[in-house]
Amino acid sequence: MGRLSVNLCGIEMDNPVIPASGTFGYGYEFAELYDINMLGTFSFKGTTRDPRFGNPTPRIAECTAGMINAVGLQNPGVEKVITEELPKLKQCFRKPVMANVSGFSVEDYAYTCERLDKEEQVGWFEVNVSCPNVHGGGMSFGTSPQAAAEVTKAVKAVTTKPVIMKLSPNVTDIVSIAKACEDAGADGISLINTLLGMRIDLKTKKPVIANTMGGFSGPAIFPVALRMVYQVARAVKIPVVGMGGVSCAEDVIEMMLAGAAAVEIGAQNLVDPMACREIIENLPAVMDKYHIENLSDIIGGVKNG
C-alpha cells in the first residue's frame, strides 16, 4: 500500500481521487487523454432504468466561481450501459468502477441496481437521491429521512456490493438524512450534490436555463460542502465520500481532514479534463508540505478549537 492509498467500504484504492458522476461520462472518452487507471476509481454517468434524453436546452449557465447545469440525467438506460458502455470501459479501465444510479420510484432504483449488481466491473453503487434537475424523482427522495431510508433498504435487498447514498445539500438537516440511510443499511454516504441555483438573462428577462433552475457547482460551493462532510462524518460510523467545489490537491486534503475517506472532483473536470490527473500528481508534494506521511491517517483529523 502506498502513501496515497485508502480503503472505501472494504475496497482498496490506490488514491482517494474519484471523478464525479456526470463529469466523466463512462470513462473511455477520458482514456483518450491519459491513462485513467491512475484514478482511485470514477463514478460513471448517472444511469436510470430507461433511456433519458434529458432536459431541453439551454442546460448550462455560467456563474462566478462555478456553473449551473440542468442536463436532466441524460443516459442510454441500464440495458445499454450493460451491453455497450461497460464493455467499452473494460478495454481501458481495469479497476472496479462506481455505478451511479438514479430513479423516479423506489422500484426504479432497485431494478437498476439489481441489473448492475451482476456486472463484475461494478465495485460500488452510488445511489443518487439528490439530483435537483429532474421532476418527479431525484432530489425528492433525498430531502426526507424516511424516503431516503426506503430507497436504501430497497437497494440493499437486491445487491451484494457496497451501497453509498448520495445526498442533497438542499435540506435544513443533512445529518438526520445521513443517519437514516445508515440505519437502513447504507455502507457509505456521498455528499454533496449540487446546490439549487438559477440565472436570469438581463436582455430577455428570462431564466438562462430552460429548466429555470439547475444544480450549482464549482469552487464557490466548497465551504458548504466541507461543512456538510464534517457534520455527517462526525455523526455516522460508515465512510463518507466528500465532493463539492474540489479543484486542487489542497482541497482533497481539506476534505479528508473534515472526514472524507475519498474525494470526488466534478465541475473542475469540465473546466480542465486533466484536473484529476494533476491533482493525483500534486498530492505527494502537498502532503510533504504539510508533513503528512499517509493520506489514510488524516481522515477526520481536523482539530477542534
Q: Which ranges constitute the DSSP H helices of the chain?
A: 78-80, 86-90, 106-117, 139-142, 145-156, 174-183, 222-235, 249-258, 267-271, 275-289
* Residues 6 or more apart whose Cβ sits within 8 Å of residue 75: 45, 46, 47, 48, 51, 52, 81
The Cα 261–Cα 300 span in angstroms is 8
The Cα 178–Cα 95 span in angstroms is 28
Residue with cell 488524516: 298
C-alpha cell at 25: 461520462
* Residues 6 or more apart whose Cβ sits within 8 Å of residue 303: none
The Cα 205–Cα 90 span in angstroms is 47
Is 113 marked active-site?
no
Q: Which among 9, 113, 131, 181 is annotated as catalytic? A: 131
* Residues 6 or more apart whose Cβ sits within 8 Å of residue 104: 48, 134, 136, 137, 138
Residues with a known catalytic role: 131
